[in-house]
Amino acid sequence: MQSYTVEPATGIRGEIRVPGDKSISHRSIMFGSIASGITRVSGFLRGEDALATLEAFRAMGVQIDDDGETVTIHGKGLHGLEEPGDVLDCGNSGTSMRLLTGLLAGQNFFSVLSGDKYLRARPMKRVVGPLSRMGARISGRAGGEKAPLAIQGGQLTGIEYDSPVSSAQVKSAIMLAGLYADGETVVREPHLSRDHSERMLRAFGARVETFPGGVRVFGGPELTGRDIVVPGDISSAAFFMVAALIVPGSELLIRGVGVNPTRTGILDILKGMGGDIELLNEREESGEPVADLLVRSSKLKAMEISGEVVPRAIDEFPSICVAAALAEGTTVVRDASELRVKETDRIAAMADNLRRAGVTVTETPDGMEITGVASLKGCAADSFGDHRIAMSMTVAGLTAKGNTTISDVECIATSFPGFRELLEGVVRR
């Protein structure tokens, strides 16, 4: 297990670009593979999670070339995938496993999905349940709750499904199965989760209708390959935004970040805490809003975070916790029990790490209360094998008094290869 040590910074200054959006990268491979013709993807995230998806489609007979610039997918059409000869390894990636389960439910073959120990501990009934109702035969450990999952796909029937959780993985899995189902498939969710599948499937030619509270897809579409430009991942940019806000004397420009409104909860929250973040040069690329973000150090204040903003910032809570730890007052997070079933229990992991850094944190079943301090203490932080915890505690270390060591940092490569080097390039000491 690798670890590294972070020294305090005196400023974060300069201009960066972050790697491509992970959610959009996964979907570009999946939808490109089941479309007819060529899909060319630029800005593809070469992180372990998106590469697990890419390898899974190669294992199902799809030719995918990568010249280091552009990923080219030779689409096989809606019914062109081949039965994989071995278990499909989703690594650490919940998105790969859940979306693939939906897609494989509609294939006329047998497949098995597995992943690392973190992924094999995550809940899968949320997709297995509704997909079984559509007619798929899926079994797994713990009565179908946990991977490995064995999927015998076949002819599906459209359903109407009210998801108890606001989850783009659940929604997208059912939408993908819906492409193979008779009739229409409807998914409703309590609050709107990221809508990349809706946007991208429509652009590929699927009939996708959104309405307040849900989405409807129609079976048997003709999908056509296209060119996709993947924007920078706002979830990766979040670490740099928080770093520039909390380290005094900072001014950082982050270029080309995806600012889809279903992903900008982090901007609403950090601005609500008093963060100075400007959106510049707003534009649209491949049907996704994009902007440059100018971030300057700010005096932050606590806020209450709950309700519809939670799914719009779901992956950013570890870094939000760091901002809250340095804000004046007590930040209260509610309605965020989903954080307990990510790569690790992110509520418990951040509470543990922030306490080591001298912060008072109270856990609740669906959130936490964090009382800000004037400065953090250097400490020995643990990633718990979770990339976002590792990067958040790296950012925390930039403002600590003394050095912060972070253990088990290899996981960062799941979503953000080159994170440390990019950060060191803008840190002033």
Ligand X SMILES: C=C(OP(=O)(O)O)C(=O)O
Give the phi and the psi of residue 247 in degrees, each rounded to 5: -90, 115
Amino acid at 336: A
Task: Give the nearer residue to ligand S3P in terms of CB position, either 169 or 394.
Answer: 169
Task: Rule CB under 6 A: choose which of 167, 298, 353, 399 binds ligand S3P.
Answer: 167
- Cα–Cα distances in angstroms (integers) from residue 390 to residues 278, 295, 426, in the given order: 27, 22, 19
Q: Out of 315, 335, 345, 366, which one is annotated catalytic?
A: 315
Those residues whose C-beta lies under 8 Å from the C-beta of residue 181, and which sit 6 or more positions away, are 106, 134, 135, 156, 157, 158, 159, 219
Output the smallest distance, CB 127 to ligand S3P, in A: 10
**H or E element that contains 351:** helix 346-356
Task: Rule CB under 6 A: choose which of 43, 94, 265, 397 binds ligand X.
Answer: 94
Task: Rule CB under 6 A: choose which of 186, 314, 323, 379 binds ligand S3P.
Answer: 314
- Cα–Cα distances in angstroms (integers) from residue 364 to residues 25, 209, 310, 313, 353, in the given order: 34, 37, 15, 19, 16
Q: Looking only at residues 332 through 361 of this chain, which bind ligand S3P when binding is defined by CB under 6 A?
A: 338
Task: Give the nearer residue to ligand S3P in terms of CB position, either 151 or 168.
Answer: 168
Output the smallest distance, CB 375 to ligand S3P, in A: 31
Q: Looking only at residues 62 through 121 of this chain, which bind ligand S3P when binding is defined by CB under 6 A?
A: 94-95
Contact 184, 216 (CB under 8 A): yes
Q: Which of 37, 169, 51 has the alpha carbon at shortest distance from 103?
A: 169
Task: Give the nearer residue to ligand S3P in terms of CB position, either 292 or 343.
Answer: 343
Q: Looking only at residues 285 through 344 of this chain, which bind ligand X when binding is defined by CB under 6 A?
A: 315, 342-343
Q: Is 346 annotated as a binding residue?
A: yes
Q: Is 23 annotated as a binding residue?
A: yes
Q: Which of 239, 364, 244 has the alpha carbon at shortest distance from 304?
A: 364
Task: Rule CB under 6 A: choose which of 168, 206, 266, 290 binds ligand S3P.
Answer: 168
**Distance separating alpha carbons of residues 363 and 336, to the nearest angstrom:** 11
Contact 32, 223 (CB under 8 A): no
Choices 62-70, 104-112, 161-169, 365-373; region in contact with ligand S3P by CB under 6 A: 161-169
Q: Please, how many CA atoms are within 13 Å of residue 182, restricted to the half-sphere of its CB?
A: 7
Task: Rule CB under 6 A: choose which of 89, 189, 315, 386 binds ligand S3P.
Answer: 315
**Distance separating alpha carbons of residues 157 and 136, to the nearest angstrom:** 9
Give SS3 for 50.
helix
Output the smallest distance, CB 299 to ligand S3P, in A: 30
Task: Rule CB under 6 A: choose which of 28, 39, 95, 260 binds ligand X.
Answer: 95
352 in catalytic set: no
Binding mask 190-209 for ligand S3P (x = CB under 6 A): ---xx---------------
> Interface with ligand S3P by CB under 6 A: which residues?
23, 94-95, 167-169, 172, 193-194, 314-315, 338
> Interface with ligand X by CB under 6 A: which residues?
49, 93-95, 315, 342-343, 388, 415
Binding site as annotated, residues: 22-23, 27, 94, 122, 167, 169, 315, 342, 346, 388
